[in-house]
Structure formats: C-alpha cells, structure tokens
Amino acid sequence: GVMEKLGLGPEVLLRENPRLIYARLTGFGQTGKYAKRAGHDINYLALSGVLSKIGRKNENPYAPLNLLADFAGGGVMCALGIVTALYERTKSGRGQIIDASMVEGVAYLSSFLWKTQNLGFWDRPRGENMLDSGAPYYETYKTSDGKFMAVGALEPQFYEKLLKGLGLDSDKLPSQLSFSEWPEMKKKFASVFAQKTQAEWCSIFDGTDACVTPVLSFDDVASNQHNKQRSSFIKNDEEEISPRPAPLLSRTPAVPSLQRDPFIGEHTEEILLEYGFTSEEIAKLYSDKVIEINKPKANL
C-alpha cells in the first residue's frame, strides 16, 4: 500500500500508460493473511515448505543464507515475470501487474521436490535422503589442511570413479543404495578424505568424472583454472573481485563495468540536477532527510 499512499499505485499509472508493466515484489504477496506482515527470507522459506527439507539429520532446519527466497524465488522469478509480461505485450499491446510473492516464487522453484515425492527421493526423514546430506556420495568432506571437497557421485559410473580415487574396493563395500549402511560409509569416506590436502585430492580427481571438486572460498575462486579460462570472475579498478554477469550471451554479451561500486548517494545530486531540480531544492530535500548525498573524499 506504500505506492498507493504516494498516488503511484498501478491503477493510477496504468490509466496514464496502459502498456506499463508494474512489478510488485513482496514476501507474502499482495493478498492473504500475511500480506502486510514483515518478514525475511527465512520466513518466506518456512511458509513455502522448502525450509522443512533443508538440514542435517537430528538438526534443526537451516536457511542457506538468504539466496533462495530473496534472490531466487524473489528477484529472479520477478524478473522472469517481467520478461514474460513484456513478451505478452508484443501480442496484446497491453501491460499488466505482476504480483511476485517470494513464498510462492521459492515454492514454484521447488517443483522438483513436489513432483519427485513418489519416486523415492524424499521418502525418508530430513537429512537421510540422497540429496540432503544423507548419502555418503553427495556430501562435503574435510581435508587434512582444514579445507573441504564436494562429492556428487550420484550415478553408478561416477560412484565407481569416486571409490577408485579414494582407493576403495567396491567389491568389499555395501551397495551404493544400501541406506542402512550410509552412516558408516560416510565415516569411512570422511576418514579417507582427512588423510590428504585439498590440493592432493584435486590432483587425484583431476580429469575424472567422479564428480569431486574443491569447495572454493571467495579468495580462491578467481584463481581456479576453470574459472580463469572462462573469465568467470572480474576485478574492478580497485582489485575487488565479483562474478561476471551470467548467463553468457553469444551475440550480445554483457559488458560489465570495471569501475568501483558507487557510494550510496554519490550521484544523487547529479541525477536530480539532470531532472531539473535546483540546487536549493536539492539542499532542502537533503536537510529534510528525504535524500542522501555522499560525495567521495579525495585521498590526498
């Protein structure tokens, strides 16, 4: 209701421009009991049902940072809605209002979980299934230097290569799908991974399809050989590292700026002057704390 209070609600603006696409991105959506409640990623994730699936055995569910509901179920799904509405407008010539709920966005994102419930993927308690840290071959393991390796050897042919790299004989081990043996297998895998450094394991599994990769820190990703070859990470003029825009388009790839990120309020005055505000009006807005102005200081 904030935009309505300002006289800028979708009904008003769509009367001015019927082709307008008006996106409303909120946690709980525009209607329903929770519509006007405060919340954060963890709350939206909880209400979607997805949070109940995330966590280890005998531990509380945990939210994986705020990536799922905020950015994936929220930002990305809202952006997809805008793209869809833009495409529809080429046919109808009309805009529309997008009600993007982070609860519904992350729930829809989890359609795979819903559609595979009867296939045996999720019929065990949290933390005991194939993809939620239950399986020994879909897990992270600590190395002797305190780093970690990620293992995702789901298919039998990949699992065989995993065992070969670990120096284990498959004939002397339980079946890959022997659920009751998974806890003991995890202990065995953990003890083996703990005997070598991350670099040593990378060398052992290099060039194989064992689905074993290092868990890279933010400090290490840019120097990783694969990431370097694809220029997956970029540096700005202050040597700060960030991901390159993705996905990569063949004909019109994004051209990222290599300048430092602007300070909050750095360009406020410049933009308002461009839009016709006077210096006196800008000063008044600043004194009334309507806007923020933050000009960088010279390093002399």
Catalytic residue list? 40, 70
Distance between CA atoms of residues 106 and 39, nearest Å? 15
**Are 268 and 290 spatial neighbours (Cβ–Cβ below 8 Å)?**
no
Pairing of strands 212-214, 22-26: unpaired
Spatial distance between the Cα atoms of 300 and 288, rounded to a whole number of angstroms: 31
CB 99 within 8 A of CB 24: yes
Spatial separation of the C-alpha atoms in residues 67 and 48, rounded to whole Å: 14
Whether the bond into 245 is cis, omega within 30 of 0: no
Q: Which residues are bridge partners to 151 per DSSP? A: 139, 212
Of 256, 277, 259, give the one whose Cα is nearest residue 268. 277
**To the nearest 10°, the Cα dihedral for 255, 257, 258, 264?**
-160
